[in-house]
Amino acid sequence: MKDFLIDIAELLEEEEIKEEDILEDFEEWDSLTILSIIAFSNEKYGTALSTIEINDSKTVGGLKKLIAGKM
């Protein structure tokens, strides 16, 4: 998952993101971004995420852990 931060930053339309960043605090955070993350992780890592799981993961690092746990 070496490009994870770059990929997620792109989906969030941010220059740079850190693992401790809170997902909800990003300006672009909404249902469409969540769907983009679901589609992205399905395509790149073959995982199926739900909106609830993504919201519960709280941070960028939490999201990474969620995806890694399903791979």
Q: Which residues form the interface with other proteins (CB under 8 A)?
A: 28, 30-32, 34-36, 38-39, 42-43, 48-51, 55
Nearer to other proteins, 42 or 65 (CB): 42
Under a CB-based contact definition with an 8 Å cutoff, are residues 49 and 67 in contact? yes
Nearest residue to 58 (alpha-carbon basis) of 4, 8, 12, 22? 22
Nearer to other proteins, 19 or 44 (CB): 44
Nearer to other proteins, 34 or 58 (CB): 34
Name the 3-class secondary structure at 7.
helix
Under a CB-based contact definition with an 8 Å cutoff, are residues 60 and 11 in contact? no
Least distance (Å) between residue 16 CB and other proteins: 21
